[in-house]
Structure 1
Amino acid sequence: MDLLIVDALDQEVIHWLESRHSVRVAPELADDPREFRQALYNVRALILPASVAFSARTLQYAPMMRAVGRINAGAENIDAEACLRAGVEVVRSATATAQAEAEFMIGALLSMLRRVPIAGADGMLVGRELGACTVGLIGMPPAARAMAAMLSGFGCRVVGYEPSLHASDGVWNRWKVAPMPLRELIETSDALAIQLNYFSRYHGLIGERLLPYCKPNQVMVSVSHSGVFDEQALADVLRSGRMAAAWLDSLEPGALDEGHALHGIGNLQVTPRLGSTTRESRLRSAWAVARRIDELLMTTPSGAAEFRPTVPGEPLDLAAEPASR
């Protein structure tokens, strides 16, 4: 079989793929891990929803796999290193969700600035205007470009931090964002928009060395994986009132349960990855993923695909080279 689709896709995209490849559409496999693994044996490409992980162990059941596609949301539960070792490409669209995420973050900032009032010069509790704010962008993915353009229309000052970009890089001028060291950005921004691509080296990056020094009454929205935060440091700065409000669009399961640092914090709002998920972004992403998978399948016809025979029940050593070519 060329392609197994476990996610919900637009019918036009599915029909296009079916006209070019052998396709099985089986969204029910998302709720049956055992059947899902058994379905992978002769599959060359896969499109998965965010709820289904793809690990090194799963790869043991997929000796012909060449591509794993993800339409929306993050790919944190896809083992990218195991896929790389096995020659499996993780297919995602880098730009399809940019507009959706930018609109979501601006909407979140507008909401928090108005509904979490602070004391004005006359002592009254009042909301704030986004146009009067310095907005700090942490991470510069495609959504940051769209967001910077929108924020300029409000009259905001926009500053940014991206660990992979030098301050002299031309991207800053083209996107009209002023580069700034991370601590200085957090200390001076009235609002933070965090969209940093998550890697293990960034775990807990935004924590006790930075958050206690945030600008008073700051608001923050994040579409990044929640692993970029030190949860205790975030809880402390929210409970103390120094940070007025925070909105996380991705949070690890159980993080709000009793006994955890973020439990019961009234000025924290959490949503389940709404930022990147719109009708338009899903359609853009579905077509981008479908076309790339089609390209990969056409490049390696099914008869030419490398097949590594296995003994039933014997795990594959994915790091080893095949015995013969």
Structure 2
Amino acid sequence: MKRICISEFMDPAAVQALTPGFDVRYEPGWVDQRPALLDALPEADALIVRNRTQVDAALLERSPALRVVGRLGVGLDNIDVGACRERGIQVIPAVGANARSVAEYVVTTAAMLLRGAYLASEQVAAGAWPRARLSEGREALGKTLGLIGYGDIGRQTAALAQAFGMQVVAYDPMLSPDDPVWASTGATCVSLETLLEQSDAVSLHVPLVAATRHLIEVGRLAAMKSGAVLINTARGGVVDESALADALRAGHLAGAALDVFEAEPLSAGSPLAGVPNLLLTPHIGGVTREANARVSMLIARQVRQALEEQA
């Protein structure tokens, strides 16, 4: 019987869907117990992970029977895709299954940051009344949202932002200016420089590769429109965290939200600690009850299909 190891949390219904016909080992704690995971892998035919399990050369060396890696999400920077390809291991990401959750996170967070009125609960509860200061917030209506990367998540984000009455501009070097997607979605194709200059809110939707590491650094933060806000639900290394902290402290940006970080979990003493107008969430932009169910079931079905085809 083929063995499937699952090293991070997965929707219970999807785990149950994998069980008939397979030896399923579901241990979400394995992500923090690498020796135990490595001990379980020599006879594993499939491994299902999220974003923290490192599917690297050392892990693959301990997994001679491995033929499928299912990714409960879309980013692949924790998986050595090239090494998997060399070994004939199929890598299956959950493309599109969590796009709606990310899009909702981005648009609601952009509106919240532009309004600037949701970080005063403790002051109000303590008897302060910062009404004058918090009356300076801005509506989303008529503002420009800039999307860096215009794949499925970016396009769903654009649709929700347009429902708010926002204008959408996007930069994606993988899409030509005459690609029909621009006309069909109502977004305007612009250069990165123009996007930063024009956007009231900027959201990142790119993978972490050599070309995108610290894509948003001190120079590009300075090039952003004064009073703009930045949202990163892509990968932490795309933003220079120290430079962002400086831009927020200086007041050049009105706010930022980071759901992803260069090192996860975020360590104590991070340059982001205590920074004003900064929202931090623990890599949950694409993880809601609904998205988790969709992602998990998609990967369960595709991993099952891949193993059955290899029988």
Answer yes or no: same fold by TM over 0.5. Answer: yes
**Deviation of 1:116 (Å):** 5.8
Contact 1:255 1:263 in 2 (8 A): no
Q: What is aligned with 2:92?
A: 91
Are 1:162 and 2:176 counterparts? Answer: no
**Deviation of 1:217 (Å):** 0.4
Q: What is aligned with 2:122?
A: none
> Equivalent residue of 2:254, what SS?
strand
Q: What is aligned with 2:222?
A: 212
> Equivalent residue of 1:297, what SS?
helix
CA distance in 1, matches of 2:117, 2:249: 14
* Residues 1:96 and 1:236: Cα distance change in structure 2 (over 3 Å): same
Q: What is aligned with 1:35?
A: 36
38-47 or 17-26, larger mean C-alpha shift = 17-26
Larger radius of gyration: 1
**Deviation of 1:214 (Å):** 0.9
Structure 1's unaligned 5+ residue stretches are 302-325
Q: What is aligned with 2:236?
A: 226
Q: What is the CA RMSD across the aligned residues, in angstroms?
A: 2.2
CA deviation digits over 1:64-117, x for unaligned, max 9? 111111214743222222222222222111100110000001111111111269
Read off the aligned partner of 1:26 and give its amino acid letter: E
**Deviation of 1:160 (Å):** 0.3
* Residues 1:298 and 1:262: Cα distance change in structure 2 (over 3 Å): same
What TM-score results when the alignment is normalised by the length of structure 2?
0.88
Q: What is aligned with 2:121?
A: none
Which of 293, 297, 300 aligns to 1:287? It is 297
Q: What is aligned with 1:314?
A: none
Q: What is aligned with 1:196?
A: 206
CA distance in 1, matches of 2:51, 2:207: 16
CA deviation digits over 1:23-43, x for unaligned, max 9? 222334333211210111011
Q: Which runs of 4+ in 1 moved over 6 A?
A: none
Read off the aligned partner of 1:250 and give its amino acid letter: V
What TM-score results when the alignment is normalised by the length of structure 1?
0.84
Q: How does 1:67-146 map to 2 (within 5 A)?
A: 67-72=68-73, 74-115=75-116, 126-146=136-156
* Residues 1:204 and 1:8: Cα distance change in structure 2 (over 3 Å): closer
Q: Percent identity?
A: 32
* Residues 1:238 and 1:123: Cα distance change in structure 2 (over 3 Å): closer
Which of 147, 151, 169 aligns to 2:157? It is 147
Structure 2's unaligned 5+ residue stretches are 119-131
The number of aligned residues is: 296
